[in-house]
A and B are shown apart, each in its own frame.
Chain A
Amino acid sequence: MNKKIVYRLVTLLLCMYCFTAFSQDRKVITGIVKDSTGNGLPGVTITVKGTTTSGISDDKGNFRISAPEGGTLVFSSVGYTSKEVTVGTDNFISVSLDVQSNALNEVVVTGFGTRANTRKLSYSVAQVSGAEVDRAGATNIVNSLQGKVAGVMINQGAGGPSSSSRIRIRGNSNLSGSTMPLFVVDGVLIQPNATGADSWGDARDFGNILKNLNPDDYESVSVLKGSAASALYGSQGINGVILITTKKGRVRNGLGVSVSNATNFDQAYKLPDFQNVYGGGIDPYFLSKDAQGYDVVDPDNGPYYSFGPKLDGHIVHDADGRLVPFKGNNLLDLFRTGTNVNTNVALEGGTERTTFRFSYSNLMNNSVMENNYFKRNTFTLRATQKLGKFINIDANATYVTSNTLNPILQGGNSNPLFRFAYSNARNYDVDYYKNHYIDTLHGGSIGGNGNPTGNPYTRGSMTSVFWNYYQNRVKQVEDNLRAGIDITGTIRPWLTLLIRGNFNSLTTTNTTKNRGDGPGFLGSSAQYSRGITTNQDFRVQALLTAAKQLNENLDLNVTVGGETQRGLGGAYNYLSTSGGFKNADIFTLSNSVNALSTDFRTVGHERLDAMYLYGDITYKNMLTVNFSGRNDWSSTLTYPDGHGNYTYFYPSIGASWIFSELLNDNNALKFLSFGKLRASLGYTGGGTDIYATSKGTGYILNGNYTDYNGSLIPLYGLNSLTLNNQNLKNLLAREWEFGTELRFFNNRLGIDATWYRKNTKNEVVTINAAPETGLGGRIINAGNIQNQGIEISLTGTPIKSRNLQWNTTFNFTRNVNKVIDIDAKDGVNSYSLDLAFGADVASVAEVGKQYGTITTGYAYAYDLDKGSKTYGQKLLKQDGTYWRSGDYGQGSKDLGTMMEKFLLSNINEVNYKGFNLFVQVDAKVGGLMASATHQYGSEFGSFESTLYGRDAAHGGVTWTDDNGVTRNDGVIPEGVYASGTIIGGTDVSGMTYQQAVDAGLTKPMAAWQYYEGIASWGTGIREYSVFENSWVSLREVSIGYNIPKSFTQKIKFQSLRLSLVARNFIYLYNSAKDHINPESIFSSRPGAFAEYGGLPLIRTYGFLVNASF
């Protein structure tokens, strides 16, 4: 095998060089690096150009490095323009670095964590500094990136602080269940998975592994967007890479201590537009009075529908028999002010040979929902050690333990927001019932299994919601250990060897303590369960890098290396009580009525080996050609019988040309300070899921069936109904990218524009098969998913003076995510991605359309006869409700795509003396979402939009009901009767509803009937609740102040910074019907497009203190 040979050659080369002595003409240079204000600049990397010799400045900016006379020192630091200085006869060098204008950082972290000068890059990389990520104290690192980087789309999680957010870079490149990028933290690969509820919404989102990342310790976050940038990571990087480097200790005298505290408050500040005009009932008047003369709320409909009398606050005899004022409720009363306190203490120190940094962070986030918290403790140690002259060791270890209790059920009948909108009248007394849901007489909940259902307000309704949140405890604890070591050996001044090892271990423990809701706090709902999942992986990498200045004009950097990744798998063990408890409220397995139910599964193994060669060659610091080639060996493409095409190669090539270098002497073009063109072509290969090659073969155990006399019978069955495929091969993505970077007027104005097109082919997917064949699907290599788009980042410095500077950045993202092919040769042109409303609405990948096309058979049916006078009209059934397209034989209808048209954000940073103001606004334009809350809430008249037709002022028609009462809540549905419709013996086909009313054949529909028809489970038109989801958010505002040194020194502080921050402050615009929360999508799956309740709009505000001693 050629890989073996390469390894041996590398080893041989290494040995040869080790015996060679170093050249002698070097001397030790000392010096200081300062910023533009004259303060020492710590953490600057000093490299001897053309070699891999480097050093770092200490906390005062001092450095020490050995370099040959006449050599060039390159000073670079993230956020500063790098500078080159030639070593002269002087042994002391003083350098000052300029702060770069925003978002045009010249030094970025890329590839396998190496720092690179952006001049050399042939692709677009965005970098966000650790401080920026940390500024507003977002619990979730993903959310803090929202709007900061062009090409990156983020949906915040809808299930509270633990919930995982969806992040997608340059669209969805494939059809798999997660299109989130790979996160790499100091070399540890972290692949986030999608979490969240299914299309019924009824699940708690404990989030993915990203919640265990703590931004406090981050030095920088790089976003590698394209294939050329992420080619080295292979298929794991096919959705892009988020590359995170953590802070290191610095060389300094004594111990440095820094402390930061962020105290934030979460405020549930706005609900969808609930109406507070009409209360319980379906008739706009009270049907009866009680013996005392109080109006009686209709007990049949009053507790559920809000089409009743006006909520005018007068005392009524409520459906539960209480005398209460007839007024609307405010669900916001149910939510508390959440607190989110994050404290970080870091100790650091270092000598020339050793540095260390230890930090501890404690996050305590009590969400807006009672009984819901997310806690996180992070311990991080990073240490570096020089061994002799040639070896550097850089080791890091992070231990995180996070603890989440009772995340909100994201949707369905147990989500408070949904339950309020659905079948719960506006006059429901939240304050009373949140304290009156326990059956104090029998024990358990009112209406719990075996208990009386109480009054109409406790039947179904919110009782079980309160019970669920206040009496049940569902907890997830995660223990995550990440550790890594980098050993760098300098073999020759221009040749280094890096050996890197990483380890990642995650243990997840879930416990459920459900209190019995039946009499005596018993019953089958009482449950205690414990599930533990373990998973471990490691990665070992070796990189041999040569950096050589070949001659005056040519610089060469080449790395050859290899790695092996091992997914060690783990186990899932689950034990639960069954059939309820013997004794109430004792949460232990031995309290089970029946034999324990159990589940044991193996978490699968995986192995990926790779070899690669990459590098760049630069001509005159002006033209750079980058290249890479990688070969993978993936276990996922092997078959248990030993066959399988498991190895594949993929290259990338690119060029960067700083054309402005040629124009330096051209006075006419003086306004152009910098100009660069770049182009790249990158391929990415990839395997498939663990055990996918075995899909559809053999049998598995599916737990036990408990028969009627309590016996357990094991259930064994087919592994899957999918047809196995013995010829799967790797996928291949190809991406073209062209870009330019221009800066004008002395860097006061800059533009970075990128065009790209990426096609992913041969993905391993399961497509439909005719069910009559006994198959649930077929697994094949198929597809051609294309993402094409542009990203523009426009940067300006409108004001720049000694004390005042204003930087502003606009990021624009437009991506078209088109499906070119699914599986044409088998006639398959559609692939289901995700569902909403159970299975009523789907997002699909359909050939010729955008990814995430929303389709439903529950759309309006229309008159499609072009010759007809009523062509294009909606079709009505006999009772005035609408025909669903599917039921009428018109099949499913495409409503558009969930994918946004474009994203736009504007980031402003104003610095005035020690003050710093930051304002970010971001916008999403286009893309559909579906809302179950809107649909079922409309059925019951909960929303403002259902005021239409309720009274004359809202367009209601006057009519007389069966009780002989004249009322103003008549609605004339728009549309014509479908052909063959007969009312009272008269054929009304093609007639409008109005015409039928005029002819005396029918009456106007009562408002409640109209909304019941359009929005109920049985007859509703789901299209009615699928709408554009565009918004403009005032995402982040912060004001920071650096206390002047003159003061901090008096109190023995080295620095002290105070800031006030606000995140997700307000939606300046929200296109969602009834202002449904646009960020309430119940899952981070790529095709998810629907909400089912979620949370109210939540804003976060608070303050931050950063201090160092």
Chain B
Amino acid sequence: MSKYKSVIFLLLSVITIAGCKKENFVKENTNPEILTTIDPAKEFLNATLQMHNQRFEAYYDYYRRIMPWMQMDVAQTGNSKTLVTDIGNFGTRYGIFYPTLGAEIEDLHYIINTMPEDEKASYVYMSNIADILKIYYAFYVSDIYGSIPYREAFQGRYGGTVTPVYEPQQELFALWDSSLHAIATTLETTQPTAQVSLGANDLYFQGDVTKWSKVANALRLRIAFRLSKRDEAAAKAIFADVLSDNNQMASNDDSWAFYASPALYDIYRSNGDWDISSFKAPRPTVNFMIENSDPRIRDYYEKNNYTQANINVAIDSNILAPGTVEKPNRYVGAPISPDSAQGKYKSWFTPKFVNGSLILDTISFLKRRLWNADYSGGTGIVTTPVITYADYCFMRAEIEARGFVTTGGTAEEWYNKGVEASIRFWDDAANKAQTEDYTAVTDAEITAYLMAPDVQFDASKALEQIAVQSYINFEKQPNEAWALWKRTGMPNSNTALALENIVIDGTVKAIPRRAAISLPASNDPNYANKEAAIQQMQQDPGFGSGPSDVFGRVWWDAQ
């Protein structure tokens, strides 16, 4: 009897003794994997990846919206009749910035700000560089959304407002300019304390502070160019101020670009949303490049597959007439207008079936590996430009050509530098991407190109030439090509690189100019501020017929 009693007693005791103490429960619910703090540079890396790892943006905003609107690609079977009206899923950047990208930069500041004072002093550069990324992206969002929350945004985690107010674009442009000015100044000033570098967490410049100060200056110019359409005087002042700084981009080494490996990092994997292989080369740019022997044609586009060998197979199959020979030029661009893909024109987009393994297709593809370096087994590196030295040169050229500021160097000099920088940048990108028939560009090709009829600098056509070359240079910056067109109206059907009118059922169509802004739902946590921002933007008649009118304009895009 007593034996069993003791067994029971023992068991009960075990339960009783082990229980009760709250700290035992607390210990169980403490996640051992949570770290209290991290290197703030990690948040910079996170924000970088958040900016570049966006497959929906590639699929919708770029490949299917802005690029065909800007005649940078054409759908495989020709552009559809809903080209300018179908804006489904357009505008992913807002959701990239809010909440994630902004929160990551904000957290970088939070980590630094909660450090002891002496330690904090070592993060002045890092903190400033992070803000360049944040301003760049906020500007990129505002560029097509107009008013956005900025100063009050991203404070929810730190006890700040949960209903941040939207700020008008004009105020934001001014704020960003002064911030960037301050950032550039700080980055150019030697700090009393040794600074902690972003190092490997900076995928662009590995923490090179000088390069970031140059980027800050270049970004000021980019913003000021938008501003110039609305307020030329303010823009001029900014140009003068920026160019009084000695720290300026001076070569492609200073270009702000993102490099990624497709094999190791999944973002450029083909057969997914990143896959560009169903898009064709656009006729306007292809024709311009052929006429002027632009060496970038081989970096941007693929030759069609009418090789003599393939032609011979087709001849054997009675598909082509005997005696057909390969043409000297196998770069063929697709017509742009949806009307050019209909009816009798449809044959343009109808490849010729020869046999199970050969289909002859007249129209060139975009250079698939330039976008998807893993296309057909590739292992190269993908280049994504943000602000390149060529972009900078063309901005300088335009400043001179418009006579905004005179700071040394002529429009022609900057234009020529820009063209050369662009060719060399894309040559390098094609090389890195291991494009299948990569051939390095030669100095002679560049020299010849600069002498080509539509390229050779002509002061009377300077603005057009700068716009055309900027447009070509923006091959992988569709948003900049779009902004250029909104700002200057070029290129267009009358420029040397002649865009086509977008004709649908015989009517020339307008092209969207901004994002569709959705009316907030009544239960939106930030309803009042959203509603106020829309009201405010609607004061400007250019805003359009309603918030979702993509043919309307944001503030800088003055009518």
Contact = CB atoms under 8 A, between A and B. Distances in A.
Interface of A: 1, 3-4, 7-8, 10-11, 14-15, 18, 291, 296, 299-300, 319-322, 387-388, 390-391, 449-452, 454-456, 460, 487, 489, 497, 499, 518-519, 523-524, 540, 542, 562-564, 566-567, 578-579, 594, 601-602, 604-607, 609, 633-640, 642, 644, 646, 690-691, 693-694, 696-701, 705-711, 713-719, 721, 723, 768-776, 826-830, 877-879, 881, 884, 886-887, 889, 891, 962, 982-985, 1018-1019
A460 B275 CA distance: 13
Contact of A774 (B46, B98, B203, B317): B98
Given A291-B318, A696-B157, A769-B156, A7 B16 contact: yes
27 contacts: A4-B19, A18-B5, A299-B351, A387-B4, A449-B376, A456-B356, A567-B28, A602-B31, A605-B28, A691-B31, A698-B31, A698-B35, A699-B36, A701-B35, A705-B45, A705-B49, A705-B265, A708-B382, A716-B42, A718-B107, A721-B103, A770-B163, A770-B524, A773-B154, A878-B81, A878-B504, A887-B86
A775 B99 contact: yes
Contact of B356 (A14, A455, A715, A721): A455
Greatest chain B CB density within 10 A among A714, A775, A984 is at A775
B82 A773 contact: no
A732 to B, nearest CB: 20
A646 B25 contact: yes
Interface string B322-366: 000000000000000000001110100011010111010000000
Contacts of A714: 42
Interface string B378-397: 00011000000000000000
B85 A698 contact: no
Interface in B3-55: 4-5, 7-9, 11-16, 18-20, 22-26, 28-39, 42-43, 45-46, 49
A544 B298 CA distance: 86
Contacts of B444: none
Contacts of A296: 353
B353 A299 contact: yes
Contact of A606 (B28, B35, B42): B28
B164 interface: yes
A768 B26 CA distance: 28
Contact of A540 (B15, B32, B102): B15
A711 B106 CA distance: 27
Most chain A C-beta atoms within 10 Å of own C-beta, residue among B157, B200, B351: B157
Given A607-B28, A707-B261, A776-B99, A878 B14 contact: no
Contacts of B82: 877-879, 881, 1019
Contact of B156 (A454, A775, A881, A985): A775
A1052 B16 CA distance: 54
A773 B161 contact: yes
A770 B25 contact: no
A638 B29 contact: yes
Contacts of A637: 29
Given A454-B357, A773-B162, A877-B82, A984 B507 contact: yes
B492 interface: no
A887 B353 contact: no
A700 B34 contact: yes
Contacts of B31: 602, 604, 640, 691, 694, 698
B434 interface: no
Interface in B213-246: none
Interface string B524-556: 111100000000000000000010100000000
B39 to A, nearest CB: 7
Contact of A449 (B43, B81, B377): B377
Contacts of A713: 45, 200-201
A770 B166 CA distance: 12
Contacts of B1: 18, 388, 390
B19 A489 contact: no
A962 B347 CA distance: 11
B87 interface: yes
A321 B356 contact: yes
Given A524-B263, A985-B506, A497 B8 contact: yes
Contact of B26 (A638, A771, A1018): A638
Given A606-B29, A707-B203, A770 B164 contact: yes
Contacts of B344: 962
Contacts of A606: 28-29
Contacts of B23: 642
| Candidate in B12, B95, B355, B359 with the most chain A CB atoms within 10 angstroms | B12
A774 B103 contact: yes
Nearest to A830: B523
B464 interface: no
Contacts of B32: 602
Contacts of A489: 4, 8
Contacts of A827: 523, 525, 527
Given A4-B20, A773-B154, A877 B42 contact: no
Given A607-B25, A638-B26, A699 B19 contact: no
Contacts of A319: 353, 356
Contact of A455 (B42, B357, B376): B357
Interface string B75-98: 000001110011110000001001
Nearest to A884: B88
Contact of B381 (A15, A387, A708): A708
Nearest to B163: A770
Contacts of A3: 19-20
A721 B100 contact: yes
B260 interface: yes
A962 B7 contact: no
Contacts of B519: 889
B179 interface: no
Contacts of B30: 640, 694
B299 interface: no
Given A717-B46, A772-B98, A774-B99, A879 B523 contact: no
Nearest to B9: A11
A644 B25 CA distance: 10
* Nearest 6 pairs of A and B residues by beta carbon: A450-B377, A773-B156, A774-B154, A455-B356, A299-B353, A774-B103
Nearest to B525: A770
B37 A699 contact: yes
A728 to B, nearest CB: 11
B61 interface: no
A642 B26 contact: yes
